[in-house]
Each structure stands twice: as C-alpha cells, then as structure tokens.
Amino acid sequence: MSVQRSVVILALFACFILLSATAFAQSGTFTVGIRDACDPATFNAVIGPGTCIPGEHGKTVFNLFVKEVQHDRMAGAWYFSPLLNASAGKFRLITVNLMSGQATSLQNSGGELHTFTRVAKFGGGVVPFLNDLTGNHDVAPECMASENSSSIFVEAGTTEVGPVAGSTDLPAGISKWQCCIHPWMRMTVNVH
C-alpha cells in the first residue's frame, strides 16, 4: 500500500470519528448542573423553614455565605456547571456550545430552589438583599416578569426538562441565562 493511499485512509477514518462524535454529542442530552452548599440549620433559621433541604450538598452556614457574597460579589459554591472555571483564584464565564435539536436537562443537586432564566442582559434578581450584596442593582426585567415563559424553577434535589437547543426557548446563537434568586449564577449558551 502506498504512503499516499495510507494517508487518505487515515484522513477518512479521522473524519468518520469526528462526524460520529459530533452526531453523538448532538443526540445526547446536555445536563446543566445547579449547585449550592447551603447549611439547612442556619439557612432555615434565618430565612425560614424549607429554604434549604437537608442533604450532602454543603455545609456553608448562613453568616459565612453572606460574608462571602459581600466580599466576592458571589458565593463560589452557588453556580451552574460547567459555568465557572477557577483561573488564578478568579471565576470566569464559560460559553456552553450546543447543537440545534439537542435536549437539555436542569439538575439541582443543591439544597435551595433555583431558577434557570433566559435574560437579555445579566442583572439582579428577585432578592433585594442579594442584589445589594452583589452590586446588581439593575434587576433583569425577565426576573421580575410574572409571565416569563423562559424562567424554569428547579426545586432542590430535582431534575427538570430544559429547553431544546434551536427552539424558541433556546434559540440559535448566544443566549444568557441566570438564576433570578442568586444573580451571580450565570451561563451563556451558544446554539449552532
């Protein structure tokens, strides 16, 4: 077999592998992980019963949560994954790439209620106290709208069906998503 023919066969095989991986990625459901680390005893004592359910999600006591949000403008253990990457001690927003037609699911393994809400511009949420601590004084209008169809509520310890990539709920191009309770929880999604 000539070297030239071997190169062509290897190139065709590589294309097959790449196309197979792309087709598999498109057909697989993308799971948005929703995380927090609330301590049930202290969160429920301050905010009210049922605010944080017991579980293996975390042990961050309420007063340390407040101090962290006040100092860092966010609580590092409250995030959408795979949103945040630590880089030199700082967090940066990562864009998730999805293929049109790809399904999503929203899996809350934390102890609190969260939303997954499409917004035109990142902003504050529905909790004025957290908006003040994070400096998010301009509330995202989508968080305040009572008839917002793009807001999905995900109870602690549950998984909800998310929007399908390329649909009107998750359109082609880049869209912004945030939690309307914890406004630093953010994600951008690029649908191809």
Tens place of pLDDT per residue across the chain (192 aa):
565 655 445 544 544 444 444 444 445 999 999 999 999 999 999 999 999 999 888 899 999 999 999 999 999 999 998 744 444 445 567 789 999 999 999 999 999 999 999 999 999 999 999 999 999 999 999 999 866 667 999 999 999 999 999 999 999 999 999 999 999 999 999 999
pLDDT of residue 146: 66
Rounded CA separation 59/42 (Å)? 9
pLDDT of residue 113: 97
Contacts of residue 16, defined as CB under 8 A and 6 or more positions apart, other chains included, come to: none
**Beta-sheet pairing, 159-161 with 104-108:** antiparallel
pLDDT of residue 4: 65
pLDDT of residue 7: 45
Identity at 145, one-letter amino acid code:
A
Residue with tokens 């994954």: 81
pLDDT of residue 3: 56
pLDDT of residue 156: 96
Tokens of 184: 């630093």
